[in-house]
Amino acid sequence: MNQLIRQLSQQEQLNFLLTNRIPRRLTTQFMGWFSRIESPLLTRLSIALWRLFADDLNLAEAQEQRFSSLQACFTRRLKPGARSVDLSPEVVASPCDAIVGARGRINGTSLFQAKGFPYELADLIPDPALQEQYRDGVFVTLRLTSSMYHRFHAPVDCTLEQVTYISGDTWNVNPIALKRIEKLYCKNERAVLPLCTEQPDSAICLVPVAAILVASIKLHCLDSALDMHYSGPQRISCNVRLRKGDELGYFQHGSTIILFASGDHTFCADTETGSRVQMGQALLRREFAPDPLPSILETALPPERLS
């Protein structure tokens, strides 16, 4: 029975119809309501049903083993020490557990959500100054499946001073939909989190993208969750200092984070499309510019002749 369900869910046309050609917003609102119901029995039954579709659901690392609601399971914390964070100053750590959906260099301001499906930074990030920061930079798309750890963390030591919220649709963000819906990430609800670091010429930005069943992004620095009920300002000021590995927030089910970095970053060896990464794992490495060599004049003349 389990094998039959998985085989059916892997059929692209059926998967696309079941997860996208339904009332997406209504389904997402219902799932939000259902997941908050506090009933241990209902939660156990829901998790058992969930396992039929996700054989990689592993709760052994969870800090708590009993959950009062399905949402409590989705947003579970891990046991202390379950993840290690690469603290090397030149490393950008993965902000979450994920599958690398895509990665590459940004060609000017153009990049890809999937092969043959380009989009522009301007379609995803509304701020022209941020668009310029990531011109010819790099990007990594991190897809969180429903069974994964759903909390995300600071990839570097940084300060978050502003969050930009963009309301939108709730298309599924699985590979099947990404191959069919042009500029999908730019259509969905999302938040833009520019992370200020101590290197003025180096830039990092996270863009959490919501999806069907999970149109809710909770950031600890904000009082309200960013969801379909949020009607506040598009730009929200905040001021929070974060060390690498500090928790930023969480999704309520599973979705995608797109990480952008300026052009002085390169990919680490394990950052390959299709690979699984864990929160804290080295994702990118900043290439420091070498100190300028002394000029011929400086090496040929004594210091008193250079004054």
Q: Which residues are catalytic?
A: 97, 153, 255
What CA–CA distance (Å, rounded) separates 255 from 293?
A: 47
Burial of 48 (0-12, 13-18, 19+ CB in 10 A): exposed
Within 8 A by CB and 6+ apart from 136, the residues are 105, 106, 107, 108, 263
Residue 5's H or E segment, with its range, is helix 2-9
Residue 200 and residue 120 in contact, taking contact as beta carbons nearer than 8 Å: no
Distances (CA, A) of 74 to 39, 56, 154, 176, 266: 15, 14, 20, 23, 32
Residue 118 and residue 111 in contact, taking contact as beta carbons nearer than 8 Å: yes
Phi, psi of 38 (to 5 degrees): -95, 100
Name the residue among 73, 26, 259 with its Cα closest to residue 158: 259
DSSP 288: P
Dihedral sign for Cα 227, 228, 230, 234, please: positive
Across the beta sheet with 190-196, the strand order is 235-242, 158-166, 190-196, 204-209, 256-261, 138-143, 98-105, 276-277
